[in-house]
Amino acid sequence: MNEIEFLQRVVKIPSVTGNESLLANFLVDQFRNWGIESSIDDVGNVIASVGSGERVLILTSHMDTVPGNVPVRVGNGNLYGRGSVDAKSGLAAFAYLLREFINSENLKIIFIGVVDEEGESRGARNVLNRFQPDFVINGEPSGWNGITIGYRGCIKFDCS
C-alpha cells in the first residue's frame, strides 16, 4: 500500500470522538505489518516507536473527527472526506514516515495517535507526563499560510 492508498484508508475509517477504536486497530495492524512495535494504551491512544538514541522526537496527531458524513472521494487532485484535513492527513503522514526510521541509531521517534482531541483531550492528557521528548511535532492544521508555534498550550525553551 503506497502513501496515498494509506491516507485514503485512514480517512475512510470512521472515527468520531469516542469511537476511534476501528482506526486505532487499523494503525496497530499496519505498524505490526511494517515491523514496528505498537500498542493501544488504556484510553485508546496508539503508541508506536522506532529507532534508538538519546534524542527523542514525538510525532502526534489525533484520530478523532467531529460528527458528520463527508463521502470520501478524490477530485482535482484533492482528497475529500471527514478528517482529511483535521487531522487524519498529519496522522497518516506521521504513521507512514516511521517506516523510514526503523533502524535509526541517532534518534528515537515515538508516534502517538491520540483520542478525544475534538472533545476533552483525554488522549493527550493521558500521555502528557509519560514521555520526556526533546521535540514534539503536532500534526494539527492551523491555517494555510503559516506554522503555529504553541496551540492551546505552550512552548518552552532556554535562550542565552
Q: 20, 86, 116, 117: which is the annotated catalytic residue?
A: 117
CA dihedral defined by 137, 143, 148, 150, rounded to 10 degrees?
A: -90
Question: In angstroms, rounded to a whole number, what is the distance separating the alpha carbons of residues 86 and 65?
Answer: 7
Residue 116 known to be catalytic: no
| Marked catalytic residue, from 20, 64, 86, 118 | 64
64 is catalytic: yes
SS3 per-residue string spanning 42-64: CCCCEEEEEEECCCEEEEEEECC
**Catalytic (active-site) positions:** 64, 117
